[in-house]
Amino acid sequence: MHVNSETVIFIHIPKAAGTTFYQVLNHQYKAQHIQYIKEGMSKQRSIDAFRKLPEEKKTRLRCIRGHMPFGLHQWLPKPATYITILRNPVNRVLSQYYYIRRTPVHPLHSELIEKNVSLEAYVRMMSDINTTNLQTRWLAGYVDFDSVMPPYEDLPADALDLAKENIENFFSVCGLTERFDESLLLMRRIHGWKNVYYIRRNVGKRRSSKEQPPTATLRLIEKHEEKDLELCEYASKRLTETLNAHCIDDEQVRQFRTLNRLLGFPVWACNTAYRILRTKIHTSLKNPE
């Protein structure tokens, strides 16, 4: 059993380790107790479907996850808490841009390739449809749930303050991609989770030195992602404070990483002794009901 009966709502920030984190959620909750908010053009239909669920089904939900902004708790008949994982916005924009370029099924892929859209032009294009500072926008809840796809309205001046306020009042954990393992250990402590071991998923290829953007381009991204930069700085300080409050130190993080490398190593690459050891460890990790 979990420590509490709140519905956990995971706001999956695009290109912020959410696909990897889904493995952890799947270890904690049964599939029939998870509501999935799909990405892309199916997002609006997913949110509409959730809002129309009978109260009885909503009550049984233990987890809601997906690419969506803050605010879904207003349609739940029981208490909810939010979790999310933010990412340094410069790294996130770079990851998103190169992901789109190498993913033919992405809606923007053809435009970027056929028009040979540069990184600088991509940043300006995102600014034109108000998808820069996306993390601040989503955590502040400045998205119309009847029309969740961009282009968005201009971000209000108080958006950053509201995002911070929501984190303080509604989020049990606001983690960081750059501090992923620490974030996981904190979630395990707060929510009583058991198996939080993982294998990295949907990780972009390492870019060559030739692909590294010039300093001027990085400064341009910082200019357009100013609010998200401040939000991540705030979240990092808050994460450190919360880790200290729960007595999670560097040694515990180191031990977790060592064990995670063992448990996350591909089965086909393990020798017999390694597989036996890993199986024993897995068996000792009892998942909650």
The answer, yes or no, to whether residue 289 has pLDDT greater than 70, is no
Give the pLDDT score at 279: 63
Helix (H, G, I), strand (E, B) or coil at 81: strand
What is the torsion angle, in degrees rounded to the nearest 10, for the CA atoms of residue 111, residue 93, residue 131 and residue 19?
90
pLDDT over 70, % of the chain: 86
Give the pLDDT score at 275: 58
Quick: pLDDT tens for 102-142. 999 999 999 999 999 999 999 999 999 999 999 999 999 99
Q: Please report, as a single letter, which amino acid is at residue 19.
A: T
pTM for the full predicted model:
0.89
Least Cα distance to 94 among 229, 207, 193 occurs for 207
Quick: pLDDT tens for 12-41. 999 999 999 999 999 999 999 999 998 877
287 — pLDDT class (breaks 50, 70, 90): very low
* Residue pair 206/41 in contact by the 8 Å Cβ criterion: no
98 — pLDDT class (breaks 50, 70, 90): very high
The answer, yes or no, to whether residue 196 has pLDDT greater than 90, is yes
The answer, yes or no, to whether residue 92 has pLDDT greater than 50, is yes
Give the pLDDT score at 200: 86
272-284 and 250-263 helices cross at what angle (nearest 10)? 120
Give the pLDDT score at 282: 60
Give the pLDDT score at 4: 52
pLDDT over 90, % of the chain: 79
Q: Give the lowest-confidence range in 19-23, 79-83, 187-191, 260-264.
A: 260-264
Give the pLDDT score at 23: 93
* Residue pair 81/9 in contact by the 8 Å Cβ criterion: yes
Residue 252 Cα distances to 52, 58, 185, 197, 244, angstroms: 43, 36, 9, 14, 12
Give the pLDDT score at 204: 61
Give the pLDDT score at 143: 94
Higher pLDDT, 209 or 9: 9
- Measured CA to CA, the distance from residue 83 to residue 8 in angstroms comes to 7
Maximum C-alpha span of the chain: 59
